[in-house]
Structure formats: structure tokens, C-alpha cells
Amino acid sequence: MGAMKRRSACPVACALDLAGDKWTLLVVRDLLRGRQTYGALADSPEGIPTNILADRLRRLEEGGMVKATPYQQRPVRYAYALTAKGLGLEEVMRAFGRWGTKHLRGTRVFPEFSSSSRSSPPGTRSRAPGASPPSRPAARARARAAAPSRR
């Protein structure tokens, strides 16, 4: 795919063109949280529509921010992981989280993002070679346990 058409040379505008809509940033957040499969990403507490999820994953892959690797052949299913470029958004996501918890009542940071509860950066957790991605029921259980307060 060719280079993305830019509105301007402003790095903020260009970054927003690639990853600035609400759904894309939530997909990045969930990939940073270690969610790897389409099902786990679809089970996000915000309820991303599946057609939008598929489009955002495609855009992120085309933008060099996500790599899709098949883990099952029939039907073909993919595990998604952030590339080094995508992992570069971790600090941006942390800054959004800090701002949200400071200014938006009733919000909280997911445990995967609290510096005291993790030994490796979100999105860099590794599975044993050949291990299957997390199961969909396990992803749902994690999503329910981590669902933000609705107050």
C-alpha cells in the first residue's frame, strides 16, 4: 500500500490520521493489555462493532503498527500483536489514562497498566512457542473483571 495522504506536515495531525479515532485507540489499548485474538478484541467492554474492529485492524496493519500472524489454518484465524511502531503508543495511552483518572470521575486504570502490577510492558507478554492464544471464555471473564465502573 502507498503512503498515507497527509493533511499537513504536523506530526500530531499525521498521528491522528493513522490512529486518532476512538475505536483505533481502544484496539491499541487492548493489544497493549495482551489481548491477541479477534474474539478477545471484540469482547472489549466498549462493545466495538465487528465491522469496525476488522477495519481498524486492517488499517493498523497497513500502517505498520500491528502484525497479524495465523495461529489456525481452518478456518484461518490470526493473533494480533503491536509492532515496535505500535508499541510506541504505550506512553500516549498512559497519558490518556492519567488525564482521564484525574479529570473524569468514576474512571480507573486497568490493572495491566498499573506500574506496580506488571513486570513487563503491556503487549510484550509472550506465550510459549506453539501455544494457543487466550480462549474466548477467558477473554470474556477478563473483560468482565476489568470492566470500568459505570457510575
Domains in the chain with CATH codes: 11-118 (1.10.10.10)
Give CA–CA dist 79/129, Å, rounded.
13
Poorest-confidence range of 49-63, 77-91, 126-140? 126-140
Instruction: Give the per-residue pLDDT at 84.
Output: 97
Give CA–CA dist 100/48, Å, rounded.
20
Instruction: Give the per-residue pLDDT at 50.
Output: 96
Burial 67-90 (b: 16+ CB within 10 A, else e): ebeebeeeeeebbbbbeeebbebb
Give CA–CA dist 11/30, Å, rounded.
24
Instruction: Give the per-residue pLDDT at 119.
Output: 40
| Average per-residue pLDDT for the chain | 79
Please provide residue 16's backbone torsions phi and psi, each rounded to the nearest 5 degrees: -65, -35
Mean pLDDT for 50-57 is 97
Share of the chain above pLDDT 90, in %: 53
Q: Is the pLDDT of residue 136 over 50?
A: no
Share of the chain above pLDDT 70, in %: 72
Res. 110 pLDDT band, cuts 50 70 90: confident
Res. 113 pLDDT band, cuts 50 70 90: low
